[in-house]
Structure 1
Amino acid sequence: MATAYVALRDRLLVCRGSGPDTDDWIAESTLEGRALECVAASPDAPERVFVGTFEDGLHRSTDGGETFERLETDFVSQAVMSLAISPHDPDVVYAGTEPSRVYRSADGGDSWTHLEGLTDLPSESEWYFPPRPHTHHTRWLAVDPFDPDRLYVGIEAGAFVYSEDGGETWHERPDGSRRDNHSLATHPAREGRVYSAAGDGYAESDDGGESWRRPQAGLEHTYCWSVVPHPGDPDRVLVSSARGASAAHTAERAESYVYRRDDGGEWHRLDDRGIPMGNGVVRAVFDAPALGTDETADAEGVVYGVNNQELFVTTNFGDRWRPVGIDWDDALEAQAPRGLVVVEE
């Protein structure tokens, strides 16, 4: 069985099916009317799901998305913009907010500790989010799969930040890093590898984020949004991208694409592979459920992707995509998905 949690702007879709090769998927809607920003779940605790909202704080399910409770927190605001569950311990959860703060829970979300010092970094005065230039937020959080104390943080917009000691101290803007990091990824089969999809382009690191390179050849659309590596091959990467923010996020003006990079070569656009691209299509959000599992090294290229057209899946890392077949009405076509996580049992 597989469950895909799709965070949309005004609801969470809980999509269930037997697996990537089946057509028996069904979707149920929950948390309707809330402005969702992110979603997180772990294969090590599949019944527990976290959803961050812009105005209604953090919500948690302990029954696989059947019901949710709003958690009482002392976050700086109710705008929870990013979430990450540690691959080392599913009880360890991180949350990022607007304005930019990072919080840690060691008990599955029951209590939280503020990891101070992030906004003391020298570049903080230069951080801003263009639609709300008076503020900024923690857009993405990731925990290194080889070191539970190594954290990666994407500030929108302003900096890539990392910590080597669980958030006691922070390091910002290492050489080559992007400024407008939208999503980050790691790979459990390649120590030190970090991927970034950013508004100012793609980047990757091989030393845990301490230095970065920027392979752009073939990437014609460099406003990158989502990134996912092949579960069994860290040198193969998918990104979603557009020419700019409006083309990425606004359905009426959307024009987005999916690119793949194989074995360190140039990027190639995945035209005519079954996933919609081009006019009217917002940027996709990806998730590969095998990443972080014990089967990663032998995993096939199963990746899920969602845009404003539907939830899609590929079993060969983008060579061919197909919709899973859930109901997708006009109201959903007007939205840009905020997050996706798929848990297989």
Structure 2
Amino acid sequence: MRLLAAFPDRVLSFDDGSLQTVFSGDVQCLDAGPFGVYCGTSDGVYRQSDTDTEEWTCVAAVGDVTAVAVHESGVWAGTEPSAVYHAPGGETFTEREGLTDLPSSDDWAFPPRPSTHHVRWLEPTPERLYVAVEASALVRSPDGGETWQDRVPSGPYDTHSMATHDDRPDLAYSAAGDGFYVTEDGGDSWRTVEAGLDRSYCWSVVCDPANPERVLVSAANGPRSAHDAGTASSAVFRKDGADADWKRSEDLPGPNGLLASVLVATGPGEAVVATNRGFFRTDDWGASWTRIDAEWPAALESERPRGLVAR
């Protein structure tokens, strides 16, 4: 298994015990799928070469790319200011217009830069496309961005990531700054599920490929403990079923000193987490974690990971 992890100034590759930088730049997001590996940066979308893993080509000079998603329907990119672009074949990107015509767009604002907002997360499924705008809205499209449905009153305000499962097309999870949310009707209504969480600023979420009701999430006390190395306090939690409470994974670094971590599911009951202290894997869905042996760069001990994929 090869891991690729995005950090603010690089993409790291871990393969056969070797850790190396394969891309340098202002990195903001990362995803991989049927069209390859894609990295979002402040100056566009880059794709990794199929033949040379250290060669990257800019395939979309669409400005400040803050979210990217690779799916059977194509490659999706989100930007600041908020816009959504789509490349059905993974190469030619066109804007899916109308996003900012939604009535709620007048309220969209990113608190540190209140004059603007951006797409934080894209979650394409066969039935719909979810788009999380940071901050203030989780919106949907039932037709690949031809039309848009605005946020709903019960929905999350500040979604940071989402997880869906092919076996349950109307089930979706939102890891949000205002809590952990679940919908079972494709986003028409949402509820919070937080019993057992002692931190409610949620960041990264994945569900078990073998069981859509088993979930892992990373969470912090708030923005500073998620993003500021000087006040970092984050943890990873597991949920073993729809009626189970959250339980904290105790054998990861932290919580003090641990920035918001990024998760990826790698198989039934299996996942990897990228942290500012290194990579860790689990084969019992978060009940225990083992460090992936690698010489971790000291410069990354104060940096929050921005994406993680397994190939």
For 1:193, the aligned partner's letter is L
Corresponding residue of 1:286: 263
Identify which of 210, 213, 222 aligns with 1:235. 213
- Is 1:316 aligned to residue 298 of structure 2? no
For 1:80, the aligned partner's letter is V
* Residues 144-165 of structure 1: CA deviation (Å, up to 9, x unaligned): 1x43xx1011111010000001
Per-residue deviation, 1:260: 1.5
1:302 and 1:198 map into 2 onto residues whose CA distance is: 23
Q: Is the 8 A contact 2:219 2:234 kept in 1?
A: yes
2:228 and 2:141 map into 1 onto residues whose CA distance is: 34
Q: Is the 8 A contact 2:46 2:60 kept in 1?
A: no
* Residues 289-310 of structure 1: CA deviation (Å, up to 9, x unaligned): 34xxxxxxxxx21101011000
For 1:288, the aligned partner's letter is A
Corresponding residue of 2:29: 38
2:154 and 2:208 map into 1 onto residues whose CA distance is: 23
> 2:28 aligns to what SS in structure 1?
strand
Structure 1 residues 237, 72: closer, same or farther in 2, change over 3 A? closer
Query: Structure 1 regions of 5+ residues with no counterpart?
Result: 18-24, 291-299
For 1:30, the aligned partner's letter is V
Per-residue deviation, 1:131: 1.4
2:8 and 2:109 map into 1 onto residues whose CA distance is: 22
Q: Is the 8 A contact 2:60 2:93 kept in 1?
A: no
Corresponding residue of 2:8: 9
Q: Is the 8 A contact 1:59 1:71 kept in 2?
A: yes
Q: Is the 8 A contact 1:223 1:242 kept in 2?
A: yes
Q: Is the 8 A contact 1:271 1:277 kept in 2?
A: no
- Is 1:60 aligned to residue 47 of structure 2? yes
> 1:219 aligns to what SS in structure 2?
coil
Query: Structure 2 regions of 5+ residues with no counterpart?
Result: none
* Residues 58-111 of structure 1: CA deviation (Å, up to 9, x unaligned): 1111226321112343x2xx210111112x35xx110000010000001212x1
For 2:46, the aligned partner's letter is H
After TM superposition, the score normalised by the length of structure 2 is: 0.96
Corresponding residue of 2:248: 270
Per-residue deviation, 1:271: 4.0
- Is 1:337 aligned to residue 289 of structure 2? no
For 2:2, the aligned partner's letter is T
- Is 1:122 aligned to residue 103 of structure 2? yes
Q: Is the 8 A contact 2:220 2:234 kept in 1?
A: yes
* Residues 26-80 of structure 1: CA deviation (Å, up to 9, x unaligned): 1110222x221111111x35xx2110012x221111226321112343x2xx210
Corresponding residue of 2:70: 85
1:103 and 1:332 map into 2 onto residues whose CA distance is: 31
Corresponding residue of 1:248: 226
Q: Is the 8 A contact 1:61 1:69 kept in 2?
A: yes
Q: Is the 8 A contact 2:195 2:246 kept in 1?
A: no
2:145 and 2:3 map into 1 onto residues whose CA distance is: 30
Q: What value does the CA root-mean-square deviation take over the aligned residues?
A: 1.4
Corresponding residue of 1:296: none
2:231 and 2:214 map into 1 onto residues whose CA distance is: 30
1:108 and 1:71 map into 2 onto residues whose CA distance is: 8
| Runs (4+) off by over 6 Å | none
Q: Is the 8 A contact 1:259 1:267 kept in 2?
A: no
For 2:255, the aligned partner's letter is G
> 1:12 aligns to what SS in structure 2?
strand
Query: How many residues were matched structurally?
Result: 310
Per-residue deviation, 1:12: 0.4
- Is 1:155 aligned to residue 133 of structure 2? yes
Q: Is the 8 A contact 1:218 1:266 kept in 2?
A: no
Higher relative contact order at CA 8 Å, sep ≥6: structure 1 or structure 2? 1
- Is 1:165 aligned to residue 152 of structure 2? no
Q: Is the 8 A contact 1:14 1:65 kept in 2?
A: no
Q: Report % sequence identity.
A: 42
> 2:230 aligns to what SS in structure 1?
helix
Per-residue deviation, 1:168: 0.9
After TM superposition, the score normalised by the length of structure 1 is: 0.86
1:3 and 1:52 map into 2 onto residues whose CA distance is: 19
Per-residue deviation, 1:264: 1.8
* Residues 297-345 of structure 1: CA deviation (Å, up to 9, x unaligned): xxx21101011000111111001111111220210101000111112xx
For 2:39, the aligned partner's letter is V
For 1:5, the aligned partner's letter is L
1:231 and 1:101 map into 2 onto residues whose CA distance is: 30
